[in-house]
Structures are given as C-alpha cells and as structure tokens.
Amino acid sequence: MLELSRIASHLLWLGPFMADLGAQTPFFYIFRERELIYDLFEAATGFIRGEEAVNWGLSGPMLRASGIQWDLRKVDPYESYNQFDWKVQWQKEGDSLARYLVRVSEMRESIKIIQQAVEKIPGGPYENLEVRRFKKAKNSEWNDFEYRFLGKKPSPNFELSKQELYVRVEAPKGELGIYLVGDDSLFPWRWKIRPPGFINLQILPQLVKKMKLADIMTILGSIDIIMGEVDR
C-alpha cells in the first residue's frame, strides 16, 4: 500500500509536469493509471464484504449494500407485505456509495408499496367517534365520562406466560427486534430491545482504517445511526 501510494503521488506530480512540456496525451494516460491504483485502494479498504456483514450482525441497508439480499419483509413477512409487488434493493460493493444507492432505491420501492396499499383501501363510510360525540346534544350519553376520553384510554392488561418471544420488523435502519421473557405476571421477567443502529455502528473502526479524516463523516453518515440507540 505504501509503494502504491508512492506511485500515485509521483504520477500526480508527473502529469502537470508533462503538460507544461506540451505533452497532452500522456497526461491523460497518467490519470488513467492513477485511477487503477485507487481501485486497488478501494478494494482493500472501506468495503464491507457480505461474509463480514453477516458476521458482524449488520442489517438493513448496511447488509443489503454488501450483496446480501435479506429483507424481513420478504424472508419473514408480517402485516400485509406479501400482498404487494416489490423487490429487495441491494448492491454488492459494500461502500458508502452502495449504501446510498440502496436507500434511494428503497424509497422508490416504498412509494410502489404505498400506491398499491392505497388502491386496496376499501370504500364506504368511516366512523369517527369523537366527531359523533361533539355533534350530539349536550346531555347525550356521548358526553359521559366513558366516552369523553376515547383517545386516552389505557391499554388492556394481560398476563405474560412463561415463554420466550422475539418479534422483529424491517425498520428503515435495519432489524428492530423485541425480546420478551414471560413470568405469568403483568410485567415481563426480561425485556430487551435490539436496535439496528447499535449493532451497525460496531463495524465503524473497520471502515475508517486507512481512510482520510474527511471521509469519516461520509462513512458515519452511510451507517445512519440514531444517538438514542448508540449512546450506551
């Protein structure tokens, strides 16, 4: 790497020097050779290969940008995702640009899903209990205490049986999981949230090796973290 860097540096000096001598054609050849050296640099640094992404437990665009076509909405469908026509977006380069391209493509796929979902919304009247309450007379049953706070009623309580449960969804930044252990009571014996940002951030030291200081912000931005997930 050091000697390749030396060659690239000398080529950078040699180009303008030859241009000053009037040799325009070799000038472009020199930049072509420098680009080949940069390709070698990129192949050795900053890439997250598919196997590495899996071993580090990455998910979301971080995983799909490394050539792994894994999306929970496809491999473990929930809600009504299996009723829509859409494709998993992925890239194979594993760098910041690949992660950018995956996210841009996923936004287009999300629009497709939304358009299909809107078309499937059934027609007919809708019911808004709050509006109905305000339209009724002042002494109506809709003004009773039971109906006055329809949007503020607490969730019903239920007992958690003695079992382990893990539920996951494909959040925008990766796999968001909830792990519960029941104890035949209203409160879980154990409750843990698996945030995608906290898992994805751990590979940052590997990504910034031999990179320029100015590249760190781009690399960190491509991981797309939330401070509430990673400040542990």
pLDDT of 19 over the 80 cut: no
Residue type, 61: P
Q: Is 176 helix (H, G, I), strand (E, B) or coil?
A: strand
Domain presence at residue 182: no
Domain presence at residue 31: yes
Domain presence at residue 156: no
Domain presence at residue 39: yes
Q: What is the pLDDT of residues 70-129, one digit of tens each?
A: 999 999 999 999 999 999 999 999 988 899 999 999 999 999 999 999 998 887 776 666
pLDDT bracket for residue 30 (50, 70, 90)? confident
Nearest of 200, 208, 203, 207 to residue 172 by alpha carbon: 200
What rounded mean pLDDT belongs to the chain?
83
CB-based contact 60:173 (threshold 8 Å): yes
CB-based contact 197:229 (threshold 8 Å): yes
- Per-residue pLDDT, 4: 81
Q: Which residues contact 86 (CB under 8 A, 6 or more apart)?
A: 109, 112, 113
pTM: 0.67
pLDDT of 51 over the 90 cut: yes
For residues 144 and 217, the model is more confident at 217
* Cα gap 26→6, rounded to integer Å: 19
What average pLDDT does the segment 8-28 reach? 65
Phi, psi of 87 (to 5 degrees): -125, 150
Domain presence at residue 5: yes
Instruction: Determine what percent of the chain is predicted with pLDDT higher than 90.
Output: 43
Q: Could you give the angle at the alpha carbon of 32 between the alpha carbons of 31 and 34, nearest 5°?
A: 60
Domain presence at residue 13: yes
pLDDT of 213 over the 80 cut: yes
pLDDT bracket for residue 212 (50, 70, 90)? confident
* Cα gap 5→92, rounded to integer Å: 26
CB-based contact 47:63 (threshold 8 Å): no
pLDDT of 217 over the 90 cut: no
What average pLDDT does the segment 185-198 reach? 90
Domain containing residue 2:
1-44
Most confident of 2-11, 26-35, 180-189: 180-189
Domain presence at residue 102: no
For residues 102 and 19, the model is more confident at 102
CB-based contact 201:62 (threshold 8 Å): no
Domain presence at residue 34: yes
Q: Order across the sheet with 190-194: list the strands.
A: 164-171, 174-181, 190-194
Domain count, the chain: 1
What average pLDDT does the segment 10-34 reach? 67
